[in-house]
A and B are shown apart, each in its own frame.
Chain A
Amino acid sequence: MSYIEFKDVVKEYKMGEVSIKALNKTNFEIEKGELAVVVGPSGAGKTTALNILGGMDIATKGKVIVDNKEISSLKEKQLIQYRREDIGFVFQFYNLVQNLTALENVELATQICKKPLDPKTILKKVGLEDRMKNFPSQLSGGEQQRVAIARAIAKNPKLLLCDEPTGALDYKTGKQILQLLQDTCRKEKMTVVIITHNQALTPMADRVIHFKNGTAYDIKINENPTPIEYIEW
């Protein structure tokens, strides 16, 4: 049994009389410690899948199992607990709390966890040793995303979910961020799922899940993922 399992997951949005299936019997698996990349065009259902995986949304049908826990059947509070203990999120637009410094943004996450990592160490790791006391508005986009990643990692989650983490960044910074994510996966043995619409990124992943029309139609395993520095796009 895989670390993460999506079994016939259906997500249906009802808009009055019309119902739209964002996910239509999606099935995929991800193993522990893997760096998975979910690719697909806009509206293919990747973000929905990620939201359900992250406990931010609930599947209409089907089973989602993470580390032997069936999260698709969790109650609201359990879901929060799941997010709190097991999940780290990284968004395209960083979603840092503007009113908090880099360090505080990380602390915001660590203070609610049982076994958090030291925020300062993490920030050092992400290369923001000198910017810890800066507010998000004083940081560049890449730095902000690094803070976001640091915040996600600091929780010491089972899963690190990243939704278009480089979407708002320039090439070089994006590469650095991806490098950071890859490093995190490798060094911290953390399971990382990255959503991207950029096909070019797929070589960096251990597992590539292709989405189209609400379904993971193709899953590929990279036996030898390419380090980021070798990937060009």
Chain B
Amino acid sequence: MKKALMKDTIKEITQNFKRFISILLIVLLGVGFFAGIKATSPDMRKTIDKYFDDENVMDIQVLSTLGLVEDDFEALENVEGVENIEASYSTDAIVNGDDKEVVVKLMSAPKDINKLTLVEGKLPESNNECVVEPNFLLGTEYKIGDKITIDVEDIQNEDGEDQALLKETEVTIVGTVRSPLYISSDRGSTKLGSGKINYYMYIPLENFDTDIRTEAYITVAGAKDLKTYNKNYEDTVQDVQDRIEEISEERRQERYQEIYDEANKKIEDGQKELDEQKEKAYKEISNAEKQIEDAKKEVENGWVELQNQKASTQSQLAQAKKQLDEADEELTSQEKLFEEEKRVAETEISQAKTQLETLENVQKQYNTLNATLTTLNNSLKALNSQLEVETDAEKIEEIKIQITKLQAQITQINTGIETIKAELEKQGINLESLDKTINSIKEQISSGEEELESAEQELKKARTTLNTQIKNYEANKKSADSGFASAEAELSNAEKEIKENEEKLEDEKKKAEEEIKKAQEELDDAKVELEQIEKPDWYILDRDTNVGYVSYLQETDRIENIAAVFPIVFFIVAALISLTSMTRMIEEQRGQIGTLKALGYRKRQIASKYIIYATVSTIVGGLIGMSIGFYLIPKVISDMYGMMYILPPTILEFNIEYAIFGMVAAGLCTIGSTIYSSVRTLRNTPASLMRPKAPKPGKRVFLEKIPFIWKHLNFTQKVTARNVFRYKKRFLMTIIGVTGCTSLIVAGFGLRNAVDSMIPAQYGEIFKYDIQMTLKDGLKQKEIQKAYDKIVNTAEIKNTLKAEMQSVEIVKNDNNQDIQLIVPEDISNLSNFIVLRDRKDKEKTYTLDEQGIIITEKLATLLDLKVGDTVTIKDADDEEVNARVSAITENYLYHYMYMSPELYKNLYNEDMRPNTILALTDDLSEEQEDALGKQILQDDNIASIVFTSVSEGIFEDVMNNMTLVVWILIIAAGLLVLVVLYNLSNTNISERIRELATIKVLGFYDKEVYDYVGHETIILTAIGILVGLIGGNFLTTFIIKTCELDILMFNPYIPASCYIYGILITAVFALIVNITTYFTLKKINMIESLKSVE
């Protein structure tokens, strides 16, 4: 470029500074907005990618319906692409506090994967330590260092016995952490408590007293290098997921077999044991029965025997008695006889005795004679013997003398003996038998006496014997009687005992049978259960099942949607503005261009001046715009989302891609339009260029064809009308600019209203209740009533309603919207607590009935449900029922489903069980509410209490953020409209400067001059505003649709005030521009403007 031309270019910028600035500004706005809003979504995504990389968040999560064991982990570890794997245990638990009960997600503290960010304190090291999320402390008023008790359901150990899951249930909070798995406020649902998990909590894995793990967290090799939101990340992870899927079949089968076998063995063992026991029991029973039977028989026999014995004994006794009586009789007669015989015998004896006495005397004499004879014989004998032997004759003579003496004596004695003999002869007694006789007499006497004696003795003896016998008999009889009696008693007792035993046995038998039956039933159940054991399902999940993560990415998608639309508006405007500005600029310099061309400059050289002009303004504007846009907009937007997501600060970076794209786009607009107009101009010959461009010819407008209107317009109006339609480009641009401005402002206010009115509507008009109290899980009807009565009797409480609330899902597509099912106990009282009505026609209220459920509007929109559709409702126990949608009700926050108790009963075959109490109170101050809350929570049966005012308060911050958005939109809108209108006005003036100078010369006052063009501007602005109101309506709807979270419904109603703001603020901006126009017009130099073209 020639030096002169360069100088000219620089001069051009300084001289045409206003134009330069306006191009710069529109580029700044366009590029800044584009860059900022475009970069927001990537910045937010990068933030989460980095966060997930930093915390080593799992890429894949494997869950099994039967838990995972060591072998599973080994198998998983060997899958190609698995970089790291960590076992984890998680369950839902209840933490009981002084007066609160919260449901927590209890997880094992991770080591490498899903690392926790320590916020305060330290990580848990021993089994009696835990860490919680920061909100836990805020929500429960626990502090670090406090001890809490974790209440978890028991697990079954290998033997099928219940066993405590945790080694330590009383743990100390040692710190607070953030988990990358929970970046949103969603903590999932549970079967416990109110159905919602309130917080998460980590304890060391070692505290779980089981070898089974609930999850395997896996990182995929190389996944960290990829961006988590990109397709190639998804593909990489999907490959590994597929490979895990491949091995899962085998592992599932094995695990199933393992569990099946184990259970089966248990059942078999049980059956065997039962059979044995059964047998044993039956044996025992039959033994017992036999015993009883034996005993019975024995007793029977006993009876018979006893009877027999009794009979025989009695007959014996009778016989004995008879004998005794006979004996007695005989004895008595014998005694009588004996007495007579005795008397005879005694007489005989006494006779014999006398005889005897005589005989004895005889004998005595005889004996004495005999004795003397004997002695004499002896002495004779002795003397004869002596004589024989004696040789001495003297002696012989002597002996002979003595013998003769002796013989004499012997003869005397013999005579005596002979007399005796004779005497005895007389009596008939032989001497020789005297002795005998005596003896026999004696014998006779003594035998007689003896006989008597013995007879008497005998009699006596017989009597004694008889007596004894009688005595014996009597004794016998007595003993026999008593013996029988006792035998009878014994037998009776035995019988009784047998009967008792029989009864007892019967009982025992029944009992045993029952027990056996029960045991068998249990076993049968176990068998059925065994058959029902399904092969464990493996869930091989990726990050897409993390609700927070997914919804965060959805947010970024939404922002991307907005980013796709908004900048287009700015770029269109930027293109149009630079086109008009540069065209005008080149038009203005026709002469100069002609001169240069005539001087022999080449087209390129001439055009380069304008291109440089445009390029410089574009680059400067773009750079400033980007440096603001890249940092301010992502920051503001992500700060807004920061309310809902817990993430590290957003990474704000200069996004080269968008920077280049934005610059190129802006460049295309400005430089493109510059090239376009310069080429068009340069095509002309120098001569024609040096002549003024033929002004645009006047034309009649269509209005003139309607004389009815045209006639009634005054002159100025006609002029205005014609001018309005004369400059179509300007007409369009003004309308677009103003439309954009009004739309943005309406959208800003509309959006704020949508969010602002949502909460008052939700908590003021729809949810009229002031308190929601959740009852403790598993209370009995009585306890519920007690708790309820207590609340009813609280002074501050005006009205109450019992209801069942639980988390359900509607089964449709892949939807997993968490829905709160509300079953009020008293339908007629419901309207005092929750208003069911049509959003558009607030007078139209709905009542619950048996026919169907009422669902909330956003839910219906999300699931594309209409009144009359039938939906499948799945509850926390995976039980599914079908119900018809009978109405769709106004609702702004979360999803609800209302059901009448009758319908509930029809669907679930059981009565609803209230677990929630809603209450209306008097107007209470914050302190009063606190006090009331504390008072209510003193009841152990109340698990939690939520004041509507508190829920309402949480959203205040969101509101403030929305106000910020509104301001951003208003400022953007204002800048847009200012730049557009200012630019157009300048172009307009410059284009029509001769005309304006002419009317000034004609003597138009400044105001009249202004009116001459101002009316056009006003009309165009008015049209723009009108179109903008419509555009604003669409834009608001669009923003609401794209920005809205699934759980929210912004109020889509745009109140008149939004439109009024749109009109007023646009008008104010237009006015500002018009005021500057006024002064610009005033300053128009008539002479210069009317100077003939040189």
The answer, yes or no, to whether A231 is at the interface (CB within 8 Å) is no
Measured between beta carbons, the chain B residues less than 8 angstroms from A107 are 715
- A136 and B698 contacting across the interface, CB-CB below 8 Å: yes
The answer to whether B715 touches A89, judged by C-beta atoms less than 8 angstroms apart, is no
Q: Which residues of A contact B723 (CB under 8 A)?
A: 99
Residue of B nearest to A52 (CB): B1087
State A159–B165 Cα separation when bound (angstroms).
111
Given contacts A104-B715, A135-B699, A136-B698, contact A97 B1003 (CB under 8 A): no
**B643: Cβ under 8 A from any A Cβ:** no
Whole-angstrom distance between the Cβ of B994 and the nearest chain A Cβ: 6
Q: Which residues of A contact B719 (CB under 8 A)?
A: 97, 99-100, 104, 108
Contact with B along A63-98 (1 / 0, CB 8 A): 000000000000001001111110101011101111
Taking CB atoms and an 8 Å cut-off, the chain A residues in 133-186 that contact chain B are 135-138, 151, 155, 164, 167
Q: Are A54 and B698 CB-contacts (below 8 A) given A80-B1006, A91-B1090, A95-B994?
A: no
Contact B998 A84 (CB under 8 A): no
Give chain A interface residues in 178-215, CB to chain B under 8 Å.
none
CB atoms of B715 and A83 under 8 A apart = no
Q: How far is the CA of A108 from the CA of B714 in the complex (A)?
A: 11
* Contact status B1003-A98, CB under 8 Å: no
Q: In whole angstroms, what is the CA distance A98 to B1003 when docked? A: 18
- Nearest CB in chain A to that of B1086: its residue: A56
Whether the Cβ atoms of B1087 and A56 lie closer than 8 Å is: yes
Does B231 lie at the interface of the complex (its beta carbon under 8 Å from any beta carbon of A)?
Answer: no
Q: How far is the CA of A54 from the CA of B1001 in the complex (A)?
A: 8
Inter-chain contact A104/B718, CB cutoff 8 Å: yes
Q: How far is the CA of A137 from the CA of B697 in the complex (A)?
A: 5
Cβ of A121 under 8 Å from chain B:
no
Residues of B close to A81: CB separation below 8 A: 1003, 1005
B695 interface residue per 8 A CB criterion: yes
In the complex, whether B1002 has a CB less than 8 A from a CB of chain A is yes
Given A91-B1090, A99-B723: A108 and B1003 interface contact (C-beta under 8 Å): no
Given contacts A51-B1087, A99-B723, contact A89 B699 (CB under 8 A): no
Answer whether residue A57 sits at the interface, using C-beta atoms and an 8 A cutoff.
yes
**A111 interface hit (Cβ, 8 Å):** yes
Using Cβ atoms and an 8 Å threshold, which residues of chain B touch A95?
Answer: 994-995, 997-998, 1001, 1090
- The residue of chain B having its C-beta at the shortest distance from the C-beta of A84 within the complex is B1003
The reply on B317 being an interface residue by CB < 8 A is no
Given A91-B1090, A104-B715, A112-B1008: A99 in contact with B698 (beta carbons within 8 A):
yes
Q: Which residues of B contact A77 (CB under 8 A)?
A: 1005
Q: Could you say which residues of chain A place their CB within 8 Å of the CB of B1086?
A: 56
A83 lies within 8 A of B1001 (CB): yes
Contact yes or no, B1087 A57, CB < 8 A: yes
Q: How many residues of A contact B (CB 8 A)?
A: 37
A104 vs B995: C-alpha distance when bound (angstroms): 14
Chain B residues, Cβ within 8 Å of A155: 1002-1003
- B296 interface contact, C-beta 8 A: no
A97 to B1006, CA, bound (A): 18
Residue of B nearest to A113 (CB): B1003
For B698, the chain A residues whose CB sits under 8 A away are 97-101, 135-137
CA distance A163 to B266 in the complex (A): 122
B999 touches A108 (CB 8 A): yes
- Which residues of chain A have C-beta atoms less than 8 A from B1090's C-beta? 91, 95
Query: A9 near B: Cβ within 8 Å?
Result: no
A109 contacts partner chain B, Cβ-Cβ < 8 Å: yes
| CB <8 Å contact, A84 and B1004 | yes
- Provide the bound-state CA to CA distance between A84 and B1006, in Å: 12
Minimal beta-carbon separation of A94 from chain B (angstroms): 9
Query: In whole angstroms, how far apart are the Cα atoms of A92 and B695 in the complex?
Result: 16
Q: Indicate if the CB atoms of B1004 and A98 lie closer than 8 Å.
A: no
B696 interface residue per 8 A CB criterion = yes
Q: Which residue of A lies closest to B1093 (CB)?
A: A93
Nearest A residue (CB) for B1004: A112
Minimum CB–CB distance from A233 to chain B (whole Å) comes to 20
Q: CA of A205 to CA of B522 in the docked complex: distance in angstroms?
A: 136
Closest to B995 in A: A97
Q: How far is the CB of A84 from chain B (nearest CB, A)?
A: 3
Whether A89 contacts B1002 by the Cβ 8 Å rule is yes
Q: How far is the CA of A1 from the CA of B1005 in the complex (A)?
A: 31
Q: A151 to B998: give the CA distance in the assembly, Å.
A: 11
Task: Give Cα A85 to B692, complex, Å.
Answer: 31
Judged by a CB distance under 8 angstroms, whether B726 is at the interface is yes
Output the least CB separation between B991 and chain A (Å): 11
Q: Please indicate the chain A residues that have their CB under 8 angstroms from the CB of B1003 in the complex.
A: 80-85, 87, 112, 155
Q: Which of B723, B997, B1000, B1090 has the most CB of A within 10 A?
A: B1090
Q: How far is the CB of B18 from chain A (nearest CB, A)?
A: 21
**A97 and B999 form a contact (CB under 8 A):** yes
18 contacts between A and B (CB under 8 A): A56-B1086, A80-B1004, A81-B1005, A83-B1003, A84-B1004, A84-B1005, A85-B1003, A96-B998, A98-B696, A98-B697, A99-B698, A99-B722, A104-B715, A108-B719, A108-B1002, A135-B697, A136-B697, A138-B697
A: residues with CB less than 8 A from B are 51, 54, 56-57, 77, 80-85, 87, 89, 91-93, 95-101, 104, 107-109, 111-112, 135-138, 151, 155, 164, 167
Closest 4 CB pairs of A and B: A84-B1003, A137-B697, A135-B698, A83-B1003
